[in-house]
Structure 1
Amino acid sequence: MERKKSEKRQQDGLSPEQGTKLYEPQYEEKHRFTHNTFLKEILQQKQGKSQGQRISLIGEPGAGKTTLLQTIASWILEQKLGLPVWVSLADLTQGGNLRNFEDYLLNSWLPFSPDKRQKVGENFTEQFERGRVWLLLDGVDEIATSGIQTLQNISRQLSGWVGKARVVLTCRLNVWQADVNALSEFETFRLLDFDYPQQVDQFIDNWFDPPQSSFVRGEGFILFLEKKEQVKPKKDKADRLKDELRKDEKAQVRDLVQNPLRLALLCRSWQLYEESLPETKAELYGQFVEQFYLWKSDRFPIEKSKRRELNLALGRLAKDDIDSSRGRFRLSQDFIEKRLGDANDENSLFYLALQIGWLNNVGVAAESPTKKVYAFFHATFEEYFAALAIDDWDFFLPREHKNKPVEGKRYRIFEPQWKQVILLWLGREDVEEEEKEGFIQELTEFQDGCGNFLFQRKIDRSFYGYRAYFLAVAGIAEFRCSQTDKIVKKVTDWGNGFSAIETEAQAVLLKTPRKNTINALVELLRSTSDDKIRRQAAENLLKIHPGNENAINALVHLLESASDDNIRLEAAENLLKIDPGNKNVINALVHLLESTSRDYIRWQAAEGLGNIGIGNQNAINALVHLLESTSDDYTRGKAAEGLGNIGMGNQNAINVLVHLFRSTSDDYTRGRAAEGLGKIGIGNQNAINALEHFLRSTSDSVTRRQAAYSLEKIDPGNQNAINVLVHLFRSTSDSVTGRQAAYSLEKIGIGNQNAIDSLVHLLESTSDDDTRSQAAESLGKIAIGNQKAIDALLHLLGSTSDYLSRSQAAESLGKIAIGNQKAIDALLHLLKSASDYFTPRQALYSLGKIGIGNQKVIDALVHLLKSASDNLTRRQVAESLGKTLAEEQMVAVVTSLKGCLSAIANLNNSDRSKECYKVIWKCAQTLPYPEFYRAWHPRS
């Protein structure tokens, strides 16, 4: 999941009304990595957006995030790549606040006495400064603050000497999505669930017939579990489990066990005692619990009555822990003993939970090294036990609620830490169906008393009404209520072009019962004639049901008949994402490539094949043919670029690019050929030799620059390449060559002080505006937190009259000056004083990245949102405001902006109302409901 590195953006050809396109983030097609490829290409060879400096590993509970991070730590030591420093972030939470990283690392992490710590600490910080430390931050989601606050806090702390480390962190998906802009410099990799049936079946086969050992193996996932020696794996057990999963009525279980942890537990349960598979997550975990006791029964036999007592006690413990403001999933010994008795008392439930393994010691408290800290067997089991301890849905949503908060009551339906507990509660068999029906009914009809007055077709309920409805949508996957079809139909409409909260609806749509959702989407495909809605519905359908014939037929029809070329290309790309080997779609793209006379469509088709046809021989052949048959240099360049994306290791593609590199005199084409070699020729000696030959034999600075850049990519650490670029940069008087060398340095010089110094020198010495702009852009890529670079950009911002250079300086400050008050003040001044069209908009965008939580920025943006006279400015102000808001500032912002949603305000300026709605909607997804209500009704 990574942002796309756009081509050089052309300033001409854009009207003022299109100006925000300059600042819109572009996203590249998602790439899938095997475990070894990820380690080699991303971490070792430093490929990708952050060049391995800032990596986030996100995923659902049980996806294997912590295990992968442990594997990375061992791999770093094995490869001698530096010093891994492991930090469990839950251990840094004190009183609901995150402890300062520098203080923790120097005074708690280092295992030395105070008298030795200072000397060791100096060497320790030096290792950080030299970039030799890998800071491994585990469990961002386990910090006891809201998701947005957590990410913003971490962003602020990754500065100074701590910020010089390479950082890899893990986080649950829902917390990471709370504010993706807070850590925008991170390159995000999601640990995917297993594909069904291929990977699930392979996992099951490996479990029951291990190829090497008794470890549970998965891609990027290794779980160590005990196995009873007397239970011998049998191949027929694996086959029977796979047969059971294939049954139509087990669709929900199939979905659940695509999660690595749950699949491992299911295999363990099936191995010990075959029985029919459950239908819901709650039933599945109930079965796991019973099998866990059976597994331990030979060493710790427990009567059923005692099991029930322990389960309820663990439930109360888990409930109190999740409900507290302490660090989640980390329980202090004192906290447990108040509820379960003394840990050393053999008659206590605490002692019993430790012996069985439901609770395990995971270290000591950061604030008190003498206090032990414990955790449940896995966080998901803590959530399951908590669900068992809740008797009435009034605990989640006060029964007496009516359009305003009930005094003294919490609305846990809006607290993210309770979502999984609520879903598990809905799946409990011992809760009356009538109770669950009533709960779902209340969720779908929830009114928050904070009405809005926008268009009814786009906004048909209140802010928290949407949030409650989305929870109901997730809930019907665990409990098939009488309203299931109605609920699915409603959210299907919201998610396919009929709502202002379309993005959120699309996300929750994937969690609904498959059969009902498929039926609703198929009906939408049949009933609408709008090509855009048909494409969106087909895309959503294929996400839920890959291979669905209705969706494929709809996309193929769009590919062949849509009048909008962009829709045709999007249809092709969507099909190939779901089914990369679909020959019909590749043929359609190839046909589009060959039949159209419009260069733009040929470029887009070539780019489409280059994005999604990785390793596909037909796609490679088509691009080779295009490259050999066209005389248009830009088209040849596009074909070369496409080959560079999909022809990894393909000797024919490499040969064609080498030939093109040697034979063409067109700079753009030659550049794309060299760039392509830099992508597909990694480790290929022929490609390395060709590029080195060009370095030695040509005097053309452009060719040398591109050859040096590509050589460094396919032969990492090639000092000749870096030396050539620095020499070109410092010696040339040609502004074009200087700009190109700067561009290449930005690709390979992250954190390299020599490269930073060269760029700062160019910035200060050149009189060419374009060169200065390129140097500023390059600094924005490689000098994060570097004060020398920040000062140089601030000087440029205040001294140049060229609006493009000024705009580029503002953009680069937005990337490297996070939290820097001088930069924030300069951008605020620019926002008010710049007379050109583009610079204030770039200042807005950058403030949205570096001004997180800054009150001066918030006040300025709120004022501008209410006073700006043009729609594009308001739109970008709303976007930046949504990025910068901290939770403690949201109440005041809601109170200030709510008047913009009144009927009169909407009538006078509907665009301002819509942008204010977006900001308030962001606040409503973060603030506790009672706080939001008080913000909306400040006098009540």
Structure 2
Amino acid sequence: MPTSDKKHKFILTVEELDKVQQRISQSKKLELSNEREKEIWTQEYLAKQANVSLSVAKRFLNRKTPMGESSFRALTQVLGFQPNEFSALQSLKDVDNKIFNWHKVCCDRLDHWKKRNVDLVIGDNRLDFGNIDRTFVPLDFLEKVKKESSQSKNTSKQQTEEYKSTQRYERQQDFLDVIIRDGLLEGSSKKYGQRLAIIGEAGSGKTTLLLQIGYELLKQPNNLVIWISLKEVRDKLEYLREYIIDEWLKGSNIAKNEWEQEFDNKLKDGCVWLLLDGLEDIPDKAHIVIGQFDVWLSKPKIALTCRKNRWDSDKADFASFGYGIYECVGYNSDQPSNFIDAWFGDDSDSANLLKTELQKANRHRINELIKYPLHLSLLCSIYEESESNFAFATNKAELFDQFIKRQYTRKITVDRFDADLVKSLGELAIKAIDTQSQLTNAEVKEKLGDRLDKALELGWLKPIDEYEQVYDFLHDSFKEYFAALAIDAWDFFLPRDHIDKPVKEKCYRIFEPVWNPVVLLWSGISRNPNTNNQSSLLIEKLIVFDDGCAKSNDYNNLGHFIALDIAFESNNIVLFDNILDQIIEWAFGTFNQYSKKREWYSISELAL
């Protein structure tokens, strides 16, 4: 790596400054934003092209203060100079190769995560970043706006804050151009440019987009892009700086003292980018974890992903950090066809047949399911081998059921479907969700035994760390599905003996956001009478739930909304209609035939 700034002063000589200023005066901008803009390079334009801050570009040109090597290199390179043209660089040995290795390490890291978190989930490299625009999920930029509301004409108006979409990005390149290339540079006019949060449902393309942001940032060789899967550093969350220095480059040929010095230089120059995947995997106090970056990053540049329900529940804690929020809103009715064409490639007949089927009038439910890339990729994978005898799933649980059975017959051709393997995976999934931790090698081997190899071959489990031998599921959605398969009765989610106060040493998983996807999958797993009866019993318990707070009974309100989702997933039309009628009455009030007046009910903010 480059040697320390203590030994080398990266600053222009008088002669070199003359040469640089002459080159700037001769350079013309590649693009002009308007007719009045001048073609000549300005200090602001030089900083933008080199991907450094304006203050660093000014230091480069005024010769008063030395700067970091990485910024010095970026500024000279963008002007078309070679390293040997500057005295500050001539004494450094093997600089070009080391800079290349530095950039390569970041690229290799992203490639590693792409292979494990995108290719593995989507499958068989059917989609690549070359045609990623065809699979891009539209993004809404959410801004906080003030809203006046009142319950009735007898109550005064109150101002509340809510997030509202102010712009939509339909093409990925538009997002990258406007937000990454322009918005993340210091001095940009784009609001929330240097910190952004990508939120959305499971499988909505958050990780894929974060990876693409990383590749875009690495087009500037001066950037250091650090990808961190928060799920895999849970035990290091309070010491992320130490983790980056001590472990992030584990296995590379870069000496720690050289890496640490250069890392500090890049921190000072504002060239370090943190890509944090999976904020929802931090069990609690996530705002404290991300708040530590303000302490040791002078100019924090962060992009992170988070499930929407977790972000919404903690948004008050995150508000002070000033993140620009971008929500993956799902495909509209026309966009899945682009994804399908990209998936099937040259097999246009299969693509056209599937698109024709999806356009039929009775395909509303499956079209609602495939609004996100993960679910659409599952459908394409299933349909690819089952065209002649294909039944479309009616809920998410059926879609996952079809996929794992298709995957099993494709990869394990000699055995009948291993129900015991699925049950054991479900028990492991419950443990992982309950403890919010990864699965150790000992836990997995104790539960699966000889079946571990089969689970790995199927891709349902994957090793996380070759050093510590820990495992995780293919995707959180698969973990939730396997967990749902292992749950027999409704009282797994809600204590059977609850009356009006918490039952000691019993879990109320039904009200924990992390279990919400599981209960919905559980509700839709089967249409057999036993499963439907279990769902109905849970619904009935929720709509009469008493939390002991007579004045508000917030959890009863929340229980109605959860019960509505369960009734929908389990196809219980009668209960769905009854619950919906109750919620509408709460929202709009009812007319009292005796008093001849409209009576209003309020719904807790918690339930909303």
TM-score bracket for the superposition, by shorter chain length? 0.5 to 0.7
1:475 maps to what in 2? 566
Counterparts of 1:461-860 in structure 2, within 5 Å, are 462-481=553-572, 482-494=574-586, 496=587
Counterpart-to-counterpart distance in 1, 2:496 and 2:465 = 41
2:247 maps to what in 1? 108
2:442 maps to what in 1? 334
Contact between 2:199 and 2:327, CA under 8 Å: does it hold in 1?
A: yes
1:3 maps to what in 2? 143
Contact between 1:361 and 1:373, CA under 8 Å: does it hold in 2?
A: yes
2:451 maps to what in 1? 349
Counterparts of 1:235-274 in structure 2, within 5 Å, are 235=349, 237-274=350-387
- The code of the aligned residue for 2:340 comes to I
Counterpart-to-counterpart distance in 2, 1:468 and 1:428 = 21
Q: CA deviation at 1:63?
A: 1.0
- The code of the aligned residue for 1:428 comes to I
1:358 maps to what in 2? 460
Q: Deviation digits for residues 128-157 of structure 1, max 9, x if unmatched?
A: 121101111111112223xxx22x223421
2:595 maps to what in 1? none
The 1:187–1:333 alpha-carbon spacing in structure 2 relative to 1, beyond 3 Å, is: same
Higher relative helix content: 1
Contact between 1:155 and 1:182, CA under 8 Å: does it hold in 2?
A: no
1:371 counterpart SS class:
coil
Counterpart-to-counterpart distance in 2, 1:128 and 1:36 = 28
2:98 maps to what in 1? none
2:227 maps to what in 1? 86
Out of 207, 220, 242, the residue aligned to residue 343 of structure 2 is 207
Contact between 2:493 and 2:509, CA under 8 Å: does it hold in 1?
A: yes
Counterpart-to-counterpart distance in 2, 1:332 and 1:191 = 33
The 1:449–1:132 alpha-carbon spacing in structure 2 relative to 1, beyond 3 Å, is: same
2:195 maps to what in 1? 54
Q: CA deviation at 1:356?
A: 2.0
1:99 maps to what in 2? 238
Contact between 1:397 and 1:411, CA under 8 Å: does it hold in 2?
A: yes
The 1:41–1:81 alpha-carbon spacing in structure 2 relative to 1, beyond 3 Å, is: farther
Please tell me whether residue 160 in structure 1 is matched to residue 262 in structure 2. no
Q: CA deviation at 1:91?
A: 1.8
Please tell me whether residue 428 in structure 1 is matched to residue 428 in structure 2. no
1:380 maps to what in 2? 477
- The code of the aligned residue for 1:470 comes to F
Larger Rg belongs to: 1
1:315 maps to what in 2? 426
2:404 maps to what in 1? 289
Out of 67, 88, 94, the residue aligned to residue 208 of structure 2 is 67
1:77 maps to what in 2? 218
The 1:297–1:27 alpha-carbon spacing in structure 2 relative to 1, beyond 3 Å, is: closer
2:462 counterpart SS class:
strand
- The code of the aligned residue for 1:351 comes to D
Q: CA deviation at 1:207?
A: 2.4
- The code of the aligned residue for 1:54 comes to R
- The code of the aligned residue for 2:405 comes to E
The 1:153–1:113 alpha-carbon spacing in structure 2 relative to 1, beyond 3 Å, is: same
Counterpart-to-counterpart distance in 2, 1:477 and 1:264 = 24
Please tell me whether residue 449 in structure 1 is matched to residue 548 in structure 2. yes
Counterpart-to-counterpart distance in 1, 2:164 and 2:344 = 41
Counterpart-to-counterpart distance in 2, 1:373 and 1:255 = 35
Q: CA deviation at 1:498?
A: 5.1
The 1:241–1:114 alpha-carbon spacing in structure 2 relative to 1, beyond 3 Å, is: closer
Counterpart-to-counterpart distance in 1, 2:532 and 2:142 = 44
- The code of the aligned residue for 2:539 comes to I
2:57 maps to what in 1? none
Contact between 1:129 and 1:161, CA under 8 Å: does it hold in 2?
A: no
The 1:246–1:114 alpha-carbon spacing in structure 2 relative to 1, beyond 3 Å, is: closer
Counterparts of 1:136-215 in structure 2, within 5 Å, are 136-145=275-284, 149-150=285-286, 152-162=287-297, 164-184=299-319, 185-196=322-333, 198-210=334-346
Q: CA deviation at 1:107?
A: 2.4
The 1:443–1:81 alpha-carbon spacing in structure 2 relative to 1, beyond 3 Å, is: farther
The 1:4–1:321 alpha-carbon spacing in structure 2 relative to 1, beyond 3 Å, is: closer
Contact between 1:132 and 1:165, CA under 8 Å: does it hold in 2?
A: no
Counterpart-to-counterpart distance in 1, 2:479 and 2:161 = 41
Q: Deviation digits for residues 318-375 of structure 1, max 9, x if unmatched?
A: 111111142xxx322223123222xxxxxx11121112211112325xxxxx312222
- The code of the aligned residue for 2:338 comes to Q
Q: Deviation digits for residues 426-447 of structure 1, max 9, x if unmatched?
A: 1121543222211111111111
Counterpart-to-counterpart distance in 2, 1:263 and 1:406 = 41
Q: CA deviation at 1:54?
A: 0.3
Please tell me whether residue 30 in structure 1 is matched to residue 167 in structure 2. yes
The 1:282–1:25 alpha-carbon spacing in structure 2 relative to 1, beyond 3 Å, is: closer
Q: CA deviation at 1:115?
A: 12
The CA RMSD over aligned residues, in Å, is 3.1
1:382 counterpart SS class:
helix
Aligned length: 439
1:39 maps to what in 2? 176
Counterpart-to-counterpart distance in 1, 2:375 and 2:510 = 25
The 1:234–1:488 alpha-carbon spacing in structure 2 relative to 1, beyond 3 Å, is: same
Q: Deviation digits for residues 798-826 of structure 1, max 9, x if unmatched?
A: xxxxxxxxxxxxxxxxxxxxxxxxxxxxx
2:313 counterpart SS class:
coil
Contact between 1:359 and 1:377, CA under 8 Å: does it hold in 2?
A: yes
1:124 counterpart SS class:
helix
Counterpart-to-counterpart distance in 2, 1:5 and 1:478 = 33
Counterpart-to-counterpart distance in 2, 1:246 and 1:477 = 23
Counterpart-to-counterpart distance in 2, 1:388 and 1:4 = 40
Higher relative strand content: 2
The 1:26–1:485 alpha-carbon spacing in structure 2 relative to 1, beyond 3 Å, is: closer
1:477 counterpart SS class:
helix
TM-score, structure 1 as length reference: 0.44
Counterpart-to-counterpart distance in 1, 2:203 and 2:455 = 21
Contact between 1:321 and 1:331, CA under 8 Å: does it hold in 2?
A: yes
Identity across matched positions, percent: 33
The 1:264–1:92 alpha-carbon spacing in structure 2 relative to 1, beyond 3 Å, is: same
Counterpart-to-counterpart distance in 1, 2:192 and 2:538 = 48
Contact between 1:426 and 1:478, CA under 8 Å: does it hold in 2?
A: yes
Contact between 2:180 and 2:213, CA under 8 Å: does it hold in 1?
A: no
- The code of the aligned residue for 1:308 comes to A
Contact between 2:245 and 2:259, CA under 8 Å: does it hold in 1?
A: no
Where in structure 1 are there 5+ consecutive unaligned residues?
Answer: 7-16, 211-232, 342-347, 365-369, 453-460, 500-529, 534-913, 926-940
The 1:281–1:325 alpha-carbon spacing in structure 2 relative to 1, beyond 3 Å, is: closer
Q: CA deviation at 1:248?
A: 4.2
The 1:163–1:66 alpha-carbon spacing in structure 2 relative to 1, beyond 3 Å, is: farther
2:515 maps to what in 1? 418
Counterpart-to-counterpart distance in 2, 1:358 and 1:439 = 29
Contact between 1:2 and 1:49, CA under 8 Å: does it hold in 2?
A: no
Counterpart-to-counterpart distance in 2, 1:293 and 1:173 = 31
Q: Deviation digits for residues 613-635 of structure 1, max 9, x if unmatched?
A: xxxxxxxxxxxxxxxxxxxxxxx
TM-score, structure 2 as length reference: 0.67
Counterpart-to-counterpart distance in 1, 2:558 and 2:569 = 18
Contact between 1:443 and 1:472, CA under 8 Å: does it hold in 2?
A: yes
Q: CA deviation at 1:80?
A: 3.2
User: Which one scores higher on RCO, CA 8 angstroms, separation ≥ 6?
Assistant: 2
The 1:202–1:440 alpha-carbon spacing in structure 2 relative to 1, beyond 3 Å, is: same
Counterpart-to-counterpart distance in 1, 2:373 and 2:253 = 43
